[in-house]
Every structure is written in C-alpha cells, then in structure tokens.
Structure 1
C-alpha cells in the first residue's frame, strides 16, 4: 500500500485509491514534470506526452512521489472538494481508457532472459578493428593512455585483419551490408594495412553477397592529400577528434613531445571536409571531449562551426563510476552545460513559434530527438542496453582478442574470446546477464528506465570484471536530458514538425545501438 497515513476524507480516500491503481508496486508508470512553464506527463507504456493543467499536474506529481493522500489534497488547497472530485473523475477515465496504466511485472525475469538470449544471438552489422594500439598523441584524459593500452605493442598484421573480416562475415549472418570501423590508438599509423584490408573486403563482396562500408576515428594530424583522396574514393565515414580552438585543444591533446596539435588537426580536418563536400559525401563528424578545464561546450561548438565544420558532437571526460580524475566534468560543470542547453532549447522553440531565427544548434537538437523517439514509443522499441556493446561494437585488438567494445581493450576480465578459438558465447551471455541484472536491480524504480537503456556499460565496470551500481549524478543528468527531449517532442508535435525528423546514423562508435 502506498499510503502510510490513512486518508480522513472521501476525497482523500479517492486519491488514495487512484494512487494505488496507478502505482500498485514500486515501478512508476508515468512521470509528471514541468519544463519552461509547461506541465507535462509522460506515460511510460504508451509513450504519450500530455500537456496538462496545473491541478492535473499537482495530483499526478503527488501520486508519483508517493505522497500521502492528505499531502496530495493539500497541493490543491485553492480547490473545493467538489472540483477535486471532478478532477479525479477525469483521471480515472483516462486511466480506464489505457493511459497511465500499470506495468505487468510478472514476467520480468523471463523477459530479461529472452533479452539476453537475443543479444547473444544477434548478427552484428559492424565491427571495430583496432589496427593500431600505439598513438602519435598522448592526450592527458585518454583512457587508453591511463590503462597502458597505447604501450601494448605496434600495429595489427595483415593476417589478423583478414581473419577479423572473415569473423565479421560469419557472424553477420544474412545481412547484406557490413561495416568496419578502423580504430586505435591512431589507426592512420597503419594506413597501409587499412588499404590492404579494404582491398581484401572488396574482393569478398561478390562471393558473400555483402557490401562493405568503412569508418575511421582519427585525431586528424596524420591526414595527407593522399589519405583524404583515398577516404573520399572509398566513401569513408570519418570521426575527427578535436577539442576546439588550439588554445583549448592543446591543454590536453598533445603529441609525444608535449607539443600542441590543434592547429594541424583543424587545418587537415577542414581539407577533408572540403573534399567530402566537393564529392557530395556526408562530411566528417568532429567529436569534442569536454573536460573540467574545457567545459564550455557551446563556445567550443560555435568556434568549430565558424571554422567550417558542419557536424559537431559534444562528449565528455567522465572517468568511471568508481574512479574519477582531475579532467572529469564536475557537478558544477554539468550544471553549466544544462543551463546552456536550456538556452539553446529556448531559442529553438522561439524559432518553431516563428518568433526568431533558426539557431545553429537546431540540427543537433533534431537529431537527438529523432534518435530518442523509438525509445519513447514504449518497451518494444526501447533499447535494452544503450549502445551496441558486445554486438555492433565488438572490438578486435592487434593480437586477435575480442572485447565487448574498444574501451574494454586490454581488460582481460572482460575478454570474450579470440580469433583462434572464436567468440565465447558463455562469456558473452554472462556479461549480458550481469549487465541486465544490475539494470533491473537499480533501474526498475526509475521513471526513465524505458527510454534510458542504462549508463555506459564500460563506465559502470571496473578493471576486475565487476559491473557496478550506476552513480546518481550521472543518472540525474540522463533524467534531466530525457525531460528536455520529451519537451522537444511535445513542441515539435505541437507545431506539426515531428514527422519530418529523420535519423542520421552518427559516426561516433561510442554511443550507438543500431541493429
């Protein structure tokens, strides 16, 4: 029973009964919140977003917070009992019509098992090939520098690369197209191997009936006219790592001699983008890592766009759930980011309403909404895990070892097999079981459990092999972000623009969950 204090009036009794029907267990079935003056209710199971009046909001918010009926009634102190009962009548009608209904939790364990089965049996479309463990930079915040992975050897050899491609062909089943992400270290240190592996994969297309596509994540400092021409010819998707203007970029992104790299990365990055545009290709994505020392994402994005980069993605240095360092964003940094996001959203809504210009960040906002929409449509289309870890992000290192993703490389507690013995599905199943188990234990009472997909799996893992409890600061950030996205969905639908959104598959391999 939700009520700890017995109701004393007929109205309070009706409020208590309504609360019990909406929240019979511990799982919330809706979330009521206010953003930019709008009172919104998100129905978890239908994905509906309703704008409601102040009285509706107060009742639903009180019920969601499991307040005693007397406290919920006190939220409506300006209303007499007759008016409150009419309000309860309307809420009961909505509830009986299928909105704000409760979730059937009787099959949670069975569903979790089926989800794990489907993840293990998944036929991946993508693979991360770590063709070079070394790097020509020594970025201060880099997890590979901190783990020592950059010092584990040189580059992958051709035979290992070929076996990796055959592994992807075999694992991908009947998929007609597959994608290889060349990763490092700095993959362009092994550019000759990349070219040979592209040639080999192309030679396998006719026999396998699969089309191969390519992606590379690079710091941009080793780009040349030859490499750019090759990437354009073979239509590579490119992720460029640049942290803003040289004076900010060079605080962290330095070469092995400690010298700044920003000017060179920007110079060659612009040449790449110009060549891609001239060829009619989708231009490279610039991926920024915000740190405590460089936390003004809006300023960084504005600078990069002024330099001609049309696609900018903001990431952050966040350490791991059990280990932070001096570079990670602080709660104060995150609050400044949220404040900037609120300003951008306000400018975007002003444009939607025809009262101002379209902000430069509009495209990124719309992509965020487009990628969020499937999870908002209910449990059947929501991600069980937020990214492609263990599936489309399986990473193969230079020595043929297989890890859930590139961030786990070198952490043998999470080793999933190797090219010699194959993928160990028992280990993969154990990994998913533990990941989903932590999610069920710690996320089941959260209103964002359907839209979220959980925190980054690597972030909540430790080097010893444990999967940890998500930290509240990060969860609060995710919930706040989802409230903003739900608000944008509401505004776009209100102005007849929601149906126009189209998802672009982003180039960032660290945050994707496509099938």
Structure 2
C-alpha cells in the first residue's frame, strides 16, 4: 500500500516522511518497507514517532539502516507520565538504549492542564541525556480520547513556557549540544513561511485501509478526505492559511496557528497564539493577553 501511495502522490525529491501510528515499533517489517520505498523515491528526512516501548534490537537496526530521525512521545517526568500514559520505566529504558547507541532523539509532550506543570522537570530530566536534541510542545487536540481532557488555561501556559525557557537555558549552559525548544523556532521566520506542508497543500497522511487525509488531526473529519491510494483527490488538499485568523499582532515572523487545530478546536487554536507570543517575548509571558 505504501508503494501505491507514493506512486499516487508523486513524492517530491527531498520530501519529508514521518512514520507514526499507533505504534510503528510493533510492525518493524512495515517500517522497513515504507522507509525503503520512501528512500528509493528520493525522500529527504524520514522520521519515526514512537511511544518508546519497542526500542529494541530491531528498532535500532531500522534506525541505522534507513537513517531515521527518532521522536518519542513523553508527557512528563515519571510520576506524571505514569498517570497520563503509563509504563514510564520502559520508555526511559528505551531512551537509555538510544543514548547508549549514540542515536539522537527528540521528545514531544502533549500539552494539557494535567501535563503543563511537569514541563520544567521534564526538561531537567532530558538534560541528562546527551543524545536528546529537541523538545516539542503539542497542544492537545480535543478529539477522540482527548475530548474529555482539559486544555491548559492561557495564563498558566504563558507562565509555564517562560519557566521552561529559563530551565532550558540553565540546562544548555551545562551541555555540549543544546536541547532545542521547537516552539522557539516558530517565530522570527520569513514573512512567507507557512506553518506546515499541509497549509501549502503539500502533505498527505496515509491510514490503514488506504485512506488519504491532509493532516493526521483531520483523519475522519467530514469534508477533508483526499480519497484513497487508488483514487486520490488532492484538489482540496491545501488547508486555510492560519494567518487569515490573526488580527493585528506584534509577533514578527510568526508562522501562524496550526491550520488543522484551528479547524477542530477554537480553544486549542487560541493557545497556539499564546505559545507564539510567549516565544516572541519569553520573559514577558506574565503579561501576554489571550487572542480572540
């Protein structure tokens, strides 16, 4: 199916491919097939997003064979992540395995009211991993299992971001290679830089069964199907530019809000702006106003 999707979509040279799930570490043969096909088609960076529970010999071999970027989902230090996701000891064992193998990795945390207080402790913990390279903040999309989970309050998010920046500054003064906060790179960009490939109509998500969607956040949402691998319809693949939602704003070079998040939740989308403003003025986040 992956080969048919690549043929149908016409993978552009240098395109980025992300293998996610579910848990892709549980299906190494499929990961191997997808990565092989993508590399043969001229893909640039190929990455795998994992919950960290299947980082074993086969996983390490796949990462080395295909030069995969590795992202790990972790929502806080052990006590907090155990409440939210569980099995933190196994995840940390996976991170230590990556560390021992000299494989760089990034961590993504899903931001909710429950996970927000753990950001500083998570950053301090990751600072002890020399191969940890990045920390990304993914605002909860209140869909499916996340529908009943509370979003952070805007003022709390602004304060937590400021504290996280301060913690990472302390950590990075003691590291050879910095632990980079992804959101810090979402401002100060060029004036025409879009939020993501989906905003430009240059992205597609392949799901089991062969369905195609412009973004993983929009899978199953009415009106956003791109057909399937046998009958793709990419005529409406570009999402509405998120900056059309913005009014007057002093944040220069901002990529705007996540366009998919703006579609599924206005409350979550507003928090995108809180993050951008906090990134623009991290030391002044106490005074950040919540955008409409």
Task: Please indicate, yes or no, whether the TM-score normalized by the shorter chain is above 0.5.
Answer: yes
Q: Distance in 2 between matches of 1:474 and 1:368?
A: 10
1:196 equivalenced with 2:5 (yes/no):
no
- In the alignment, is residue 318 of structure 1 matched against residue 128 of structure 2? no
Matched, 1:221 2:53: yes
- Secondary structure of residue in 1 paired with 2:178: helix
- 1:368–1:485 Cα contact (<8 Å) kept: no
Q: Contact between 1:318 and 1:324, CA under 8 Å: does it hold in 2?
A: no
The answer as to whether partners of 2:24 and 2:49 remain within 8 angstroms in 1 is yes
2:229 paired with 1:388: no
Within 5 Å, which residues of 2 pair with 1:124-273? 160-168=1-9, 170-172=10-12, 175=13, 177-201=14-38, 205=40, 210=42, 213-253=45-85, 260-273=86-99
Structure 1 or 2, whichever has the larger Rg, is 1
Cα distance in 1 between the residues matched to 2:32 and 2:169 = 46
* Match of residue 358, structure 1, among 173, 179, 182: 173
Structure 2 residue 112 is matched with structure 1 residue 291: yes
2:220 alignment counterpart: 410
Partner of 1:459: 261
Deviation at 1:396, TM superposition (A): 1.2
Aligned-residue Cα RMSD (Å) equals 3.5
Structure 1 residue ranges (4+ consecutive) displaced by more than 3 angstroms after TM superposition: 197-202, 316-321, 323-327, 341-348, 359-362, 364-374, 390-393, 467-474
Q: Could you say which residue in structure 2 is the equivalent of 1:132?
A: none
* Aligned mates of 2:168, 2:74 — CA distance in 1: 25
Q: How many angstroms apart in 1 are the aligned matches of 2:176 and 2:112? A: 20
Number of aligned pairs?
280
SS of match in other structure, 2:97: helix
- Correspondence for 1:328 among 147, 151, 155: 151
Deviation at 1:453, TM superposition (A): 2.6
How far apart are the structure 2 equivalents of 1:397 and 1:178? 18
Does the 8 Å CA contact 2:46/2:68 hold for their aligned counterparts?
A: yes
Contact 1:320/1:459 (<8 A) preserved:
no
Provide TM-score, normalisation by structure 1: 0.47
User: Are 1:300 and 2:137 counterparts?
Assistant: no
Shift of 1:211: 5.5
Q: Secondary structure of the equivalent of 2:159?
A: helix
Gaps of 5+ in 2: 285-292
Retained in 1: the 8 A contact 2:51–2:72?
yes
| CA–CA separation in structure 2 for the residues paired with 1:339 and 1:485 | 6
Distance in 2 separating the partners of 1:387 and 1:303: 29
Contact 1:240 1:285 in 2 (8 A): yes
Distance 1:250 1:343 in 2: 25
Q: Give the aligned partner of residue 30 of structure 1.
A: none
- TM-score, normalised with respect to structure 2: 0.79
Task: Check 1:270–1:470 CA distance in 2 against 1; reply closer, same or farther (3 A cut).
Answer: closer
Matched residues in 1 for 2:226 and 2:155: separation?
Answer: 38
2: CA distance, partners of 1:223 / 1:262? 13
